[in-house]
Every structure is written in C-alpha cells, then in structure tokens.
Amino acid sequence: MDLPIEFFSEDIEFTLQNQDQISEWIATIVEQHDHDLVNLTYIFCSDDYLHEINVEYLFHDTLTDIITFNNADEDGTVEGDIFISIDRVRDNSTSLGTNFEDELHRVIIHGVLHLLGFKDKTKEEETLMRKEEDSSLSLRKF
C-alpha cells in the first residue's frame, strides 16, 4: 500500500526503522478516528534544529520533542508536518526508563493525535492524550 507519509531527517543522521509498518499503523489510527489521510511529513532532527523552529514560528525559547504543523484545509482530513527531535526522544527515553523505539513511536503518534484534534494544554486534555497514545501504541503489529 502506497501511503502519503514521508520520513526525512535534518541536521542529524537518523533513519526510521520499519517505515512501511509505521505508515500502516498511522493510517489505521487516522482511519479509526474517521479522518482521511491526505499527506503527512515527518522530519527527524536535532535539538538545535527544532529549537530554531520553536523560536521562529511559535516564539517559544525552549527545547521540545515535537512540533506539529497542521496543514489541513478542511475538517476530517489529516495533513501536516511533524518535526521530532531525536535528541529529546533519546533523553526522554533515558530519563523515563523506556525503550527508545517505544518513546519514538509515542511521539510519532502524539503528532498525529494533535492533527486529529486532541490537545494537551490542560491536565484533562493531557490525560486523554496519554490514553489515546497508549491505545494507539497497543495497536502496533511490529
């Protein structure tokens, strides 16, 4: 199945393993939420690269593991660019005592969930986001 999902890296040497399986998993999550997958681009990068984006576009002078830009023109569609700091994911997996791949997959699907309309600014939203992440992670078949 040829899905409209692409994976790139910027300012870091990184290649995502299991790209086809991850793409199918993402498509399944999008479909389960009754949305159409139009186009999704992941850019894996360094802390410095993502920090520059955070300052320039969001005016936040902080490190983060992910920034999601929603490019959808209409409701019910998923189209966006998701920037993920591999440095942050690696540090977070170490500090949380989790497997790097599991933490990376959590962040990958976190961006998709934002594009599906989930938020994480309040405690209630954050709790629901984490529940959706866990549910999505349980559907991995790789």
List binding-site positions for Zn(2+). 110, 114, 120
CATH of domain 5-137: 3.40.390.30
Give the orientation angle of helix 100-115 with respect to helix 19-32, to 10 degrees.
Answer: 40
pLDDT tens digits, residue range 49-95? 999 999 999 999 999 999 999 999 989 999 999 999 999 999 999 99
pTM of the entire predicted model: 0.96
Take residue 21 and report the two structure tokens written for it. Answer: 């399986």
Residue spans of the domains in the chain: they are 5-137
List binding-site positions. 110, 114, 120
Residue 117 CA to residue 24 CA, distance in Å, equals: 20
